[in-house]
Amino acid sequence: MSRLFRVKPMSLLSAEASEEGEHTLKRSLGALNLITLGIGAVIGAGIFVLTGQAAARYAGPAVALSFVLAGITCAFAGLCYAEFASIIPIAGSAYTYGYATLGELVAWIIGWDLVLEYAFAAATVASGWSGYFNSLLQQWGIYIPPQMTATTGTPLVFYQHQWLPVMSLPPGVSATGLPHATGVFNLIAMAAVLAITAILVIGIKESANLNSAIVIVKLAIIAIFLAVGSWFLFKHPAVAQANWHPFIPPSDGHGNFGWGGIPKGASRVFFAYIGFDAVSTAAQEAKKPQRDMPVGILGSLAVCTVLYILVSMVLTGLVSYKTLNVGAPVALGIDATGVSWGSMLVKIGAIFGLATVMLVMLLGQSRVFYSMSKDGLLWKWASAIHPKFRTPWITTIVFGLFAALAPAFLPIDRLADLVNIGTLLAFAIVSAGVWVLRVRHPDLHRPFKTPLVPLVPFLGIVSALYLMTQLALITWVVMISWLVIGLMIYFGYSLKHSKVQKLATVAEAD
């Protein structure tokens, strides 16, 4: 049993962090690249989709408080991530941190969990990106055959010069008599993921530079939305007063709305924060990781939390929260201001925003798989480095294809919750890991130190586990099933090929 909880020695981690050469990842990212990497991952589906859905279904205007609660949970975990990233500046994120503190079995569980989280998060975002992109094309009079724009079996109707899913029709509008079609294959989503995969294979520096440029564009668009919306509310205070009252709607008797709706909303919008932790997966490609990784992690988290709170407040002030359960709630909000170009602007912002989320999710997934392979826990092909581009190209392509096919064929309606539970589990393990490492290695040099240990790690664990309990039962079933498959691989392959196990066997023989 003790074999399962062998930790990866800090000396081995330090040696890996200092490796150089053509068979290692290229260090080319600075602090600004890392901050924009985090913002690129976080600012996307949360603002452009989930804010409206959480307001309409769970919290009402108090969705702003849901973002505060989710942000506090992320802050606890973010401080722990920052300490780990400064101590262990190599790829792998929570997987590597768990390996160094809680043992190999825990590391495997969290690494396998992250693989699911990042790959399916990219697939989910690709579906949202496809919807915004197709809507923009149709607004310009460009029509792709509707069967090629939605997942298998999705019913579509032609309404107001656009093909829409039946579920997206406005309240009171019947699909009867409208032209119908049925989705077969989401070509747009597949093409988007394949394009992002090609960019990631070409190189991390190129990917990061593209991400930084896109982040600037979408932040500018969000700033315009906030400025236009805030000015409208300033000129029409009665609109805001009506839409914000009551700020916390009365409970519906099923745990939604009321004070109980705030944590339920937080557990749903948590998907909006997924990404800041992906910064730590790029640690082995940072120029000065001890200094820049904490800045990238905490900086991106702080910027995004403020933006989410502001956007949710303006959005629920512009329109009633009851009308926001739509695919493009921010577009609906800016339309209420009467700014005619607002809808197109928001769609362009969503297209840019969701593209960078896909990029960072696929980047994070491939780096976790790379780290697990380097440790002998997965097959050697997963850590193969391209001789020219210096990227883990095979694993990038394999999971890029998987993430491309998933939104092309599969309607994944509960995927956001599934991704949330995986991320929350990772946060709990990282928070516990910082606590354990402080006890086992109190004198270890820490360029960044999490304050108030063990209070902050303890709060990180408790808040993450609490939000996990707010998620639907099916998400627990799927996660446990995925972990069972992973454990079969671990006991069938990984335990026999683990470098840490081999080192321990040699040491025992001596």
Sorted by sequence, the CB contacts under 8 Å of residue 153 that are 6+ apart come out as 182, 183, 411
Please give the C-alpha separations between residue 396 and each of 204, 287, 340, 362, 486, in angstroms, as whole numbers. Answer: 12, 22, 41, 7, 19
Which residues are CB-neighbours of 266 under 8 A, at least 6 positions away? Answer: 66, 67, 69, 70, 73, 467, 470
- Structure tokens that stand for 386 in this block: 């391209």
- pLDDT-derived band at 244 (thresholds 50, 70, 90) equals very high
Question: Which of 71-80, 225-234, 258-267, 329-338 is predicted most confidently?
Answer: 225-234
pLDDT in tens, 425-455: 888 888 888 888 888 888 877 888 888 889 9
- Asked if the peptide bond before residue 411 counts as cis, ω within 30 degrees of 0, the response is no
Predicted model pTM: 0.74
- Confidence at 314, pLDDT banded by 50, 70, 90: very high
pLDDT in tens, 270-296: 777 776 666 666 666 667 766 777 777
pLDDT (mean) for 460-467: 89
Domain map (residue ranges) of the chain = 2-123+200-347+366-378+411-504
**Coil, helix or strand for 229?**
helix
pLDDT category of residue 461 using cuts at 50, 70 and 90: very high
Pick from 56-70, 393-407, 414-428: least confident? 414-428
Structural domain 2-123+200-347+366-378+411-504, CATH architecture? Up-down Bundle (1.20)
What is the predicted pLDDT for the residue at 18? 59
pLDDT at 413 over 60: no
* pLDDT tens by residue, 119-135: 777 887 787 788 778 88
User: Which region among 8-17, 144-153, 198-207 has the lowest average model confidence (pLDDT)?
Assistant: 8-17
Residue 398's CB is within 10 A of a number of other CB atoms, namely: 17
pLDDT tens digits, residue range 495-507? Answer: 888 888 887 777 6
Q: Identify the bridge partners of residue 159 per DSSP, sorted by sequence position.
A: 162
- Burial zone of 309 (CB within 10 Å; 0-12 exposed, 13-18 middle, 19+ buried): middle
